[in-house]
């Protein structure tokens, strides 16, 4: 509706979901499109490539248009971490492939993401001080962007129920609540408050540096991007935000999954005869501050071009939706700044990276 397109035009919906089980199971793409008001003639499929699921969904939607002549499709993502994560990813529950779980390297497929971030920080010499300084910058950038209304145009108000727990009686009551903005930002964050936070793996790893302050925030969210063939856009007289140019992935050892963008980005740029310096804006998902820092260092990216309005450290990271949110945001911000070529990239659990190239229109 926000795009001004008849819902019946949408042929297929690709919805990324990092945890497509439990409350977000049963092909959440099909369920969500019907809940959103699209007709039964619109199909839907759920995509899971963990933290890149939203970006992957956009790539699949674009590919369906390019290859299969689909006139209109949606790529997006959704995750409800508060509902699903407590019941998922538990090796003790038997949700493992035993042959891999016993492998000296592949057992890291089940390694907690915090452990992989600490490993990257230690191996590549990224200090707690740098991570905290980056986290502070992310909080400050998101606060400034929200105050300036830079996120307003990409938010759709959502009516929901909020659980409220009485601190004294522990009684839980429910109140109607309308979400009008991302609520994870802590605009009053200081470097001193970040430095006081406990290292999460301190008891088992003396070199650990990841804290709740320099890691992404666990949150719930959904995002969707409408894609159309160029001639359809012209026929309907619509004004597009940007053009999908390409997508690439790359693999690495699962215990250092945070370096994934350093593999995917060069592959993407090479295929399009571009260099890092040709890219005007970057979204590098802040799964952890160390992830953005490592990949900026490795790829030699100007920090002033990266996550200019903050990222997952300060705005939250519902795994499957983040890539879609990043795409929408970078195209809008790119238009404000007069940018042309932009890249969205992220690390992926299990040892991968993904990157998408877009042109701002």
Catalytic residue among 72, 252, 317, 329: 317
Catalytic residue among 51, 72, 184, 252: 51
Active site residue 347: yes
**Exposure of 147 by Cβ count < 10 A (0-12 exposed, 13-18 middle, 19+ buried)?**
exposed
Q: Give CA–CA dist 134/23, Å, rounded.
A: 34
> E strand or H helix at 191, and its extent?
helix 191-195
CB under 8 A, 24+ apart: contacts of 57-62: 57/14, 57/15, 57/16, 57/323, 57/324, 58/14, 58/225, 58/227, 58/244, 58/323, 58/324, 58/327, 58/356, 59/244, 59/247, 59/356, 60/14, 61/12, 61/14, 61/225, 61/227, 62/227, 62/244, 62/247
Looking only at the bridges linking them, the beta strands covering 281-284 and 341-348 are parallel
Catalytic residue among 17, 72, 252, 347: 347
Active site residue 225: no
User: What tokens were used for 301?
Assistant: 């990216």
Cα–Cα separations (whole angstroms), residue 314 to 55, 165, 348: 20, 24, 19
- For 160, the 3-state DSSP assignment is strand
The number of CA neighbours under 13 Å toward the Cβ of 273 is 0
Active site residue 184: no
User: What tokens were used for 320?
Assistant: 């499957």
Kindly list the catalytic residues: 51, 317, 347
């Amino acid at each position: 509706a926000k795009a001004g397109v008849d819902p019946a035009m949408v042929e297929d919906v690709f919805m990324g979901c990092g945890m497509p089980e439990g409350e977000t199971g049963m092909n959440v793409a099909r369920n969500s499109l019907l809940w959103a008001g699209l007709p039964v003639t619109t199909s839907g499929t759920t995509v899971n490539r963990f933290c890149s699921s939203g970006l992957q969904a956009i790539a699949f939607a674009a590919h369906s248009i390019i290859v299969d002549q689909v006139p209109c499709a949606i790529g997006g993502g959704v995750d409800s971490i508060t509902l699903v994560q407590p019941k998922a990813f538990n090796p003790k529950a038997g949700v493992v492939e035993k042959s891999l779980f016993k492998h000296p390297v592949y057992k890291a497929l089940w390694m907690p993401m915090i452990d992989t971030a600490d490993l990257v920080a230690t191996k590549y010499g990224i200090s707690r001080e740098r991570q905290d300084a980056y986290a502070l910058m992310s909080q400050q950038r998101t606060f400034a962007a929200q105050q300036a209304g830079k996120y307003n145009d990409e938010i759709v108000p959502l009516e929901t129920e909020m659980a409220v727990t009485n601190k004294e009686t522990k009684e839980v009551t429910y109140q109607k609540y309308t979400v009008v903005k991302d609520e994870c930002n802590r605009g009053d964050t200081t470097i001193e408050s970040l430095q006081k936070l406990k290292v999460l793996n301190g008891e088992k790893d003396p070199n650990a540096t990841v804290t709740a302050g320099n890691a992404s925030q666990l949150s719930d969210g959904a995002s969707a991007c409408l894609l159309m063939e160029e001639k359809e856009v012209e026929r309907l007289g619509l004004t597009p935000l940007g053009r999908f140019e390409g997508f690439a992935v790359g693999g690495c050892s699962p215990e250092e999954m945070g370096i994934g963008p350093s593999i995917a980005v060069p592959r993407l740029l090479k295929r399009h005869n571009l260099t890092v310096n040709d890219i005007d804006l970057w979204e590098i998902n802040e799964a952890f501050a160390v992830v953005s820092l490592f990949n900026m260092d490795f790829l030699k990216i100007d920090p002033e071009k990266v996550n200019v309005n903050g990222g997952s450290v300060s705005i939250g990271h519902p795994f499957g939706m983040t890539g879609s949110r990043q795409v929408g945001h970078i195209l809008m911000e790119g238009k404000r700044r007069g940018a042309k070529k932009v890249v969205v990239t992220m690390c992926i659990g299990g040892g991968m990276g993904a990157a998408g190239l877009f042109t701002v229109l």
